Amino acid sequence: MKVVFIKRLMIIGVEDKYIAFKARRLLYSLEGE
C-alpha cells in the first residue's frame, strides 16, 4: 500500500510542476506582448 501511495504523490508532484511551468510560460507570453 505504501509504495502505491508514494508513487501517487510523485505523479501529483510532476503534474504540479508541469502546471506551474505552463502557468509561468503563459505569464511570460502575456508580459511579452
- Where exactly are the structural domains of the chain? 1-32
> What distance in Å separates the CA atoms of residue 23 and residue 25, rounded to the nearest whole number?
5
The pLDDT, as a whole number, for residue 1 is: 73
Q: What pLDDT, in 10s, does the model give residues 1-32? A: 789 999 999 999 999 999 999 999 999 998 88
> What distance in Å separates the CA atoms of residue 16 and residue 26, rounded to the nearest whole number?
15
> What distance in Å separates the CA atoms of residue 32 and residue 9, rounded to the nearest whole number?
34
The pLDDT, as a whole number, for residue 32 is: 80
Identify the band that residue 33 occupies on the pLDDT scale cut at 50, 70 and 90.
low
The pLDDT, as a whole number, for residue 13 is: 94
Q: Summarize the chain as % helix, strand, coil (round to 5).
A: 95, 0, 5
Q: What is the DSSP string of 2-33?
A: HHHHHHHHHHHHHHHHHHHHHHHHHHHHHHH-
